[in-house]
């Protein structure tokens, strides 16, 4: 088995924001097919499509109403097949976001389930009676605000929803639900799909005893208005039964030729790294997992080192997937702006760091352009939590605005109609046609090609080198060859002693002076050496 995914670079496409082919202001599958050459020319190995399934679009496709249909907004099954064919012809794999933990309330399963307590699908969702005082069965919170329970007068019960009230949670304790979900996955694998990105992979099962969560130790809040983080969420997600389901799903994918699954672990902090390790352990669970560990504001050497070493310790036989951005978090250039000499400096630094990490690498569309977060006003918002809690919560629309292709074309070449989110001048300035041979786009192509051509980067094992903040340093080795890497995560210059004859093979704001490496703000260096390890103790 080739296991192409082990050294892959995966490019995330947010379909409604990539390329509109019809003029309705929303990107679609035909538009993505039109732009496949851009993706292939980056040198990536695989495309990850955010949800394309039939949906009322209350949560931008993460509320599925039919698992076996393409939403007309994006096209149809023929357009999907054409995209798969075009991608495969260019040597690209394709995986699709599978949202299995919950459906839309417009799904036929839920419509039937809510009609009575004794129909064929009565137990396909998580239903529970009110407490004696009429309040919800547990204290669990929804990620999008308020209780995770919605009262349904037709059944006289509450149903569980970890996200919007229009996204009821499936009851994975029911074996019929699992069989139905596996059948929907098989449908897409039979059409030639190369795997799945599994949304909220640790949310499938809930505690059958419906125990309330205890308070969090430090009561952290993810957003200003988010009560979810004030609980230790041990009963509403990451239940032990999850592992058996992942094994069922892996058994299905193993029936196909080199199909891959990567799971999104919906958790923060060190616990997310532990779950990544647990879910990828052995060869009968997920092929890979990633968390939000590197998708937050933390930008220091200790944090990145802890993420990688934590995974190494927790899953010595597992495989990680690292990325700095996706459709749920502010763009990395803006998120880490306080540490940046300039947007271009931080964009190159982030690219070089990511390409040096052991494991599979993920890039979110637009990062290859050095794209920045879009500033929106309330009237432009579409994201439900932002609309509900503005201005305390800005939401996720700022990282989801359309891809920019031609700076001076209407909507930067994304659409001839009015786009679903606006294309603004600061983002249009980063358009593909404005990227020169020395631009961020060219740099991504260069670094992806270098990673793929270098066995140490593709497969080398990692050992960290202890340097003080803000310096992140490690070496990687493979079959007798080694490289070292050092990154300055600050605006200030730092000097690092060197040992032996050392060369900078890739770098930014980096020079070797005598027996020392000098890194200016946001400087970094990929180093090779003759003899001893190149990095000495800091002075």
Cα dist. 510→342, 491, 517 in Å? Answer: 16, 13, 7
262 phi/psi in degrees, rounded to 5: -120, 130
Which member of 45, 199, 274, 397 is catalytic? 199
d(CA 493, CA 485): 16
Answer yes or no: 199 catalytic.
yes
Tokens representing residue 491 in the block = 């605006």
Pairs from 350-353 (Cβ < 8 Å, separation ≥ 24): 350/324, 351/440, 351/443, 351/444, 351/447, 352/447, 352/487, 352/506, 352/508, 352/524, 352/526, 353/304, 353/324, 353/472, 353/487, 353/524
Give bridge partners of residue 322 from the DSSP assignment: 361
d(CA 341, CA 364): 22
- Token look-up 């009429």 returns 134
Which member of 20, 267, 367, 373 is catalytic? 267
Residue of 283, 365, 516 lying closest to 14 (CA atoms): 365
d(CA 285, CA 273): 16
Residue of 1, 7, 8 lying closest to 256 (CA atoms): 1
Cβ(290)–Cβ(225) below 8 Å: no
* Helix (H), strand (E) counts: the chain: 14, 19
Cβ(510)–Cβ(502) below 8 Å: no
Q: Which residues are catalytic?
A: 199, 267
């Amino acid at each position: 088995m080739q296991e192409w995914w082990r050294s892959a670079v995966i490019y995330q496409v947010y379909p409604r924001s990539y390329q509109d082919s019809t003029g309705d202001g929303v990107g679609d599958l035909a538009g993505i097919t039109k732009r496949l050459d851009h993706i292939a020319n980056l040198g990536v190995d695989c495309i990850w499509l955010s949800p394309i399934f039939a949906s009322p679009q209350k949560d931008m496709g993460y509320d599925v109403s039919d698992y076996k249909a393409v939403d007309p907004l994006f096209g149809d099954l023929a357009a999907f097949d054409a995209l798969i064919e075009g991608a495969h012809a260019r040597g690209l794999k394709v995986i699709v976001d599978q949202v299995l933990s919950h459906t839309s309330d417009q799904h036929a399963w839920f419509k039937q389930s809510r009609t009575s307590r004794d129909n064929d699908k009565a137990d396909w969702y998580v239903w529970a009676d009110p407490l004696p005082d009429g309040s919800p069965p547990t204290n669990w919170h929804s990620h999008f605000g308020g209780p995770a329970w919605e009262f349904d007068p037709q059944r006289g019960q509450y149903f569980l929803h970890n996200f919007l009230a229009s996204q009821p949670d499936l009851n994975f304790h029911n074996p019929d639900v699992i069989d139905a979900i596996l059948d929907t996955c098989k449908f897409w694998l039979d059409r030639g799909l190369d795997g799945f990105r599994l949304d909220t992979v640790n949310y499938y099962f809930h505690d059958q005893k419906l125990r309330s969560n205890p308070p969090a130790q430090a009561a952290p809040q993810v957003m200003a208005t988010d009560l979810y983080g004030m609980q230790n969420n041990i009963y509403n997600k990451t239940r032990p039964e999850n592992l058996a389901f992942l094994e069922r799903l892996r058994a299905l994918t193993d029936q196909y030729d080199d199909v891959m699954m990567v799971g999104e672990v919906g958790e923060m902090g060190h616990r997310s790294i532990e779950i990544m390790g647990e879910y990828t352990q052995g060869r009968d669970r997920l092929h890979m997992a990633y968390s939000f560990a590197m998708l937050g504001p933390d930008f220091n050497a200790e944090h990145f080192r802890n993420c990688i070493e934590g995974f190494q310790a927790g899953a010595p036989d597992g495989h990680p997937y690292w990325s700095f951005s996706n459709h749920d978090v502010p763009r990395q250039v803006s998120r880490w702006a306080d540490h940046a000499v300039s947007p271009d400096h931080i964009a190159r630094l982030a690219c070089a760091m990511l390409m040096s990490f052991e494991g599979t690498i993920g890039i979110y569309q637009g990062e290859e352009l050095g794209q920045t977060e879009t500033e929106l006003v309330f009237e432009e918002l579409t994201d439900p939590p932002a609309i509900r809690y503005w201005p305390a919560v800005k939401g996720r629309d700022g990282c989801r605005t359309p891809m920019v292709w031609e700076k001076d074309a209407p909507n930067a070449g994304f659409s001839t109609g009015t786009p679903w989110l606006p294309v603004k001048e600061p983002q249009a300035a980063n358009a593909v046609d404005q990227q020169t041979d020395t631009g961020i786009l060219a740099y991504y192509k260069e670094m992806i090609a270098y990673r793929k051509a270098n066995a140490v980067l593709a497969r080398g094992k990692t050992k960290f080198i202890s340097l003080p903040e803000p310096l992140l340093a490690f070496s990687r080795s493979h079959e007798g060859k080694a490289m070292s890497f050092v990154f300055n995560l600050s605006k200030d210059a730092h000097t690092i002693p060197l040992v032996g004859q050392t060369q900078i093979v890739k770098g930014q704001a980096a020079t070797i002076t005598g027996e020392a490496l000098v890194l200016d703000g946001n400087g970094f260096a990929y180093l090779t050496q003759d003899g001893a390890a190149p990095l000495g103790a800091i002075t």
